[in-house]
Structure 1
């Protein structure tokens, strides 16, 4: 089953946070190697923190910031954590919206943004954030195209619990005074699709286009042997089916249920193959690396329809908004209070 925005929404830190005052009150020794400093005066269990996925570590950092600054309004990727919008890797900065400031500023790993355009603020789980509509529109202008496409698709897709419409996003984008990222925004308006059921599908769709493959049908349904089988991508010219696999697709957090889903998926694939549909499979990591996805499709029998777009493919390597590989303490040490 597709993950919903509500499933991904993180309205509390994924691991418990402990302040210096709490540690003193309860006799917890946090100034040891068993704890890691997330922000000045805020710690977490090191083992639990280091076991998290990169985007979960970012969520810990976001909620540690909120713990220290409960009235700050989160925006961009920081608001995306609370809304459940898809993120990839660990974001470098904590993003805060502060319209009162005369200009945007940075304080260590905290980027404080201002704008002529008004943002709607709301509380989600007690956390103050820009609205889902504003957050999606802002990320569409700021993120590299494939990541932004995954955000737009998720916000539009009923299968992912997305409540927005493309018309609302167009209307908001067209009304903005700032022209920053407007070309990227127009590209998203043309390519966002509410049929996408996962971020892996969204990124894969971008890579398929930029690689020069023919445009596939999305979520095509086949009826064979009394079954109804829906597929991620179908290439009518070659009858090839493309599937963007991911852990969430099979529910590996429940081993018994996952085993049953894998068995059913094998039956489904065999059934489709019996009726003349070659298969190409890849996962999200394959899509980011491009070549494995291309190889999966060409091996299955999909021919290129046009030259690749090297400029757009190069945007997949854009890591400017990602955190450098260092300890969270390094972020904490760089923070200066405004």
Structure 2
């Protein structure tokens, strides 16, 4: 079964969790001036918490909840944190699955879900979550399409037997009574590709498709001047290359190493241009805004081949690129 492998599990909080009873045993003080209360009796360093990215804050909240409620089964975005799937911003709620409830309910920031369709449950380092396949199908139903694509792409690239992953996802969704999201589920199963190596690539693929550009080849390798250069996107019609940057790869602690990586990337791009490949480069924020990505592709000589999908493009409008996790 392909969905049994979890190789990107996140079960350690981005910040150390300080339980009040442990602090008392160790003689440590917990002050409102220096600590942030995450859940009842669970604290973290306040300044460090404020400095976290939105998805990191959500991970702290999810793992603090799991520490206090070890018998709870996490689902949806909360399960995605533990399973190492892409997450977007800081979700409002901690999501819990409870099949014994008569109806779903919310308790503060905890949303407890039930369903007529049973979910399988697994334990990841002692944290109970819905299984990878159920978590992916659930998120595919409820997330906006570009985000859902990032989740599906990530799931099929990270499991054993990836070639069978999509049929298994499709079969699980088809076996359920739930009808929510069935239209864009069909698009996801047709369009998902485990060759996408990051959420930035998945979102970019969606935008490229919806704007009406030809579908690119992913992870094409070129061999010039004794080098092996693999690119994110290749557009065979124009022989153009597209690269989406998360820029985290250049944010190294060692300034010399960062400068060397930038220099290597510049030489790589120059080499590909010398052999006749127009080059388009953009980042995740530009993909979300659509127009900058369109301008980059047009400048590289890539032309639209069909009309834009305005309905799909409209699903991008309300999501800020500043709060989207750009790597997994």
TM-score by structure 1 length?
0.87
> Which of 154, 162, 173 is the equivalent residue of 2:159?
162
Measured against aligned partners, the alpha-carbon deviations of 1:269-304 in whole angstroms (never above 9, x if no partner) come to 111100111111111111111122112111222122
The residue number in structure 1 matching 2:298 is 298
Q: C-alpha separation between the residues in 2 aligned to 1:284 and 1:96?
A: 30
How far apart are residue 23 of structure 1 and its match? Answer: 3.0
Shift of 1:128: 0.5
Which residue number corresponds to residue 328 of structure 1?
A: none
What corresponds to 1:123 in structure 2?
123
Note the C-alpha offset of 1:74: 0.3
Partner of 1:95: 95
5+ residue gaps, structure 1, are 324-338
Report how far residue 248 of structure 1 moved: 4.4
Alignment-derived partner of residue 326 in structure 2: none
Q: CA deviation at 1:223?
A: 2.2
Residues 54, 89 of structure 1: 8 Å contact kept: yes
Per the TM alignment, residue 264 of structure 1 is displaced from its structure 2 partner at its CA by 2.2
CA contact (8 A) 1:96 1:110 kept: yes
User: How far apart are the structure 1 equivalents of 2:175 and 2:94?
Assistant: 26
Count of aligned positions: 314
Partners in 2 of 1:252 and 1:238 — Cα distance?
34
Confirm or deny: 8 A CA contact 1:74 1:129 kept in the other structure.
yes
Contact 1:251 1:257 (C-alpha < 8 Å) held by counterparts: no
Matched position secondary structure for 2:308: coil
C-alpha distance in structure 1 between counterparts of 2:142 and 2:253, whole Å: 33
1:6 matched to 2:7: yes
Aligned to 2:144: 144
TM-score, normalised via structure 2 length: 0.90
Partner Cα separation in structure 2 for residue 66 and residue 267 of structure 1: 47
Change (3 A) 1:245 1:43: same
CA-based RMSD of the aligned residues comes to: 2.1
Given that 1:39 and 1:64 are in contact with CA atoms closer than 8 Å, whether structure 2 keeps it comes out as yes
More moved, 277-286 vs 231-240? 231-240
What corresponds to 1:60 in structure 2? Answer: 60
What is the CA deviation profile of residues 33-59 of structure 1, one whole-angstrom value per residue up to 9, with x for unaligned ones? 211111222211111111211111000
* Secondary structure in 1 matching 2:315: helix
- Deviation of 1:258 after TM superposition, in Å, equals 3.8
Report the 3-state secondary structure (helix = DSSP H, G, I; strand = E; otherwise coil) of the residue aligned with 1:103. coil
216-225 or 18-27, which deviates more: 18-27
Partners of 1:304 and 1:105 lie apart in 2 by 46
Are 1:238 and 1:301, in contact at CA under 8 Å, matched by a contact in 2?
Answer: yes
